[in-house]
Amino acid sequence: MAVHAHPDDESSKGAATMAKYVADGVEVLVVSCTGGERGDVLNPALKDDPEILRDLPDVRRREMAKAQEILGVQHTWLGFVDSGLPEGDPLPPLPEGCFALEPVEVSTEALVRVVREFRPHVMTTYDENGGYPHPDHVMTHVVGMSAFRAAGDPAAYPHAGEAWQPLKIYYNQTLSKGRILAFHDAMEQAGLESPYGEWIARWEDRGERTITTRIPCAEHFPTRDRALLAHATQIDPEGSWFMVPLEMQQEIWPTEDFEAALSYVPVEPIEDCLFAGLASLAEADALARKGGLELHYDGTSKDAS
What per-residue confidence (pLDDT) applies to 302?
65
- The pLDDT of 102-130, averaged and rounded, is 97
Among 276, 253, 299, smallest CA distance to 141 is for 299
Give dist(CA 137, CA 131) in Å, integer: 7
305 confidence band (pLDDT: 50, 70, 90):
very low
- The pLDDT of 72-89, averaged and rounded, is 95
- The pLDDT of 20-33, averaged and rounded, is 98
- The pLDDT of 206-224, averaged and rounded, is 95
Q: What percent of the chain has pLDDT over 70?
A: 99
- The pLDDT of 73-100, averaged and rounded, is 94
- Ligand-binding site membership of 137 (annotated): yes
What per-residue confidence (pLDDT) applies to 288?
87
Rg of the chain over Cα atoms, rounded to whole angstroms, equals 19
Q: Are 173 and 258 in contact (CB under 8 A)?
A: yes
Tens of pLDDT, residues 136-186:
999 999 999 999 999 999 999 999 999 999 999 999 999 899 999 999 999
- Model-level pTM? 0.95
Q: Which domains does the chain have, with CATH numbers?
A: 2-174+255-301 (3.40.50.10320)
What per-residue confidence (pLDDT) applies to 304?
43
What per-residue confidence (pLDDT) applies to 207?
81
Strands 213-216 and 255-263: antiparallel
What per-residue confidence (pLDDT) applies to 284?
87
Tens of pLDDT, residues 247-261:
999 999 999 999 999
Q: Are 99 and 33 in contact (CB under 8 A)?
A: yes
- The pLDDT of 45-74, averaged and rounded, is 96
